[in-house]
Amino acid sequence: MSTKQLINNINLVKNVVKTIQLAITMTLLLLTSTALRADVLTDIVPLQTRWAEINYQLDEDDREKAYQQLVTVADQVVANNAGSAEAYIWRGIIKSSLAGAKGGLGALGVAEESKADFEKALTLDANALQGSAYTSLGVLYAKVPGWPIGFGSNKKAAELLTKALTLNPQGIDPNYFYAELLADKRDYSQAMRYLEQAKQAPKRPGRESADVGRQQEIAMLMAKVAKKIKH
């Protein structure tokens, strides 16, 4: 074997070894990523469960304090899963609900914090939880007052909710909240269309309590929209 052939063989072996090392590294990264995602999905379950209890079972006067306590728990979940969009989404949802419970100008600071969490989630993984960051950020833009008081914008809300629907067209939340926005804009026929879709949305495993509460909200909004259509 010539010296040139020997060098070529050595280089070939080196390239094969590098390829194997790269494959091993990628596999380890994938396994680590999968394990981390499993961890955060487990960590957010208590947040989801408690949020549903507060939102649908507690008296309105008791919700602000309960949400505030849950934010503290969510802070720890985010600290333990700083690279996971799911953790930021759920802290954002809880803060958004806290802002709603507080009401008034005092809620705007909390709403801004919620907005920041959703925006962070979008930078980490826009598709996380079937695009829930788009849904929740859209709701926030719809609920918060517009300029000069707050950052609210129905146009921005519609853009975000439409994006959420492209990622989760059968989802109960994007369909319900888009219907709510349409109803607020007095587009009742279109609102009813999305309410019907929300009503037929598949049940979410582990979110039974939230699904029941949301279906009640759907039924109430459908009744209001139906009256508007008749008139």
Burial of 213 (0-12, 13-18, 19+ CB in 10 A): middle
Tens-digit pLDDT profile for residues 133-154: 999 999 999 999 999 999 999 9
Tens-digit pLDDT profile for residues 39-70: 899 999 999 999 999 999 999 999 999 999 99
The predicted structure's pLDDT at residue 35:
43
Minimal CA–CA distance to 129: which of 207, 68, 193, 58? Answer: 207
Tens-digit pLDDT profile for residues 179-206: 999 999 999 999 999 999 999 999 999 9
Residue 24 has pLDDT above 50, yes or no: no
**pTM to 2 decimals?**
0.83
Which residue is associated with the tokens 């809620």?
107
Provide CB contacts within 8 A for 121, sequence distance 6+.
Answer: 85, 86, 88, 89, 92, 128, 133
Residue 19 has pLDDT above 90, yes or no: no
Which residue is associated with the tokens 């930021």?
88
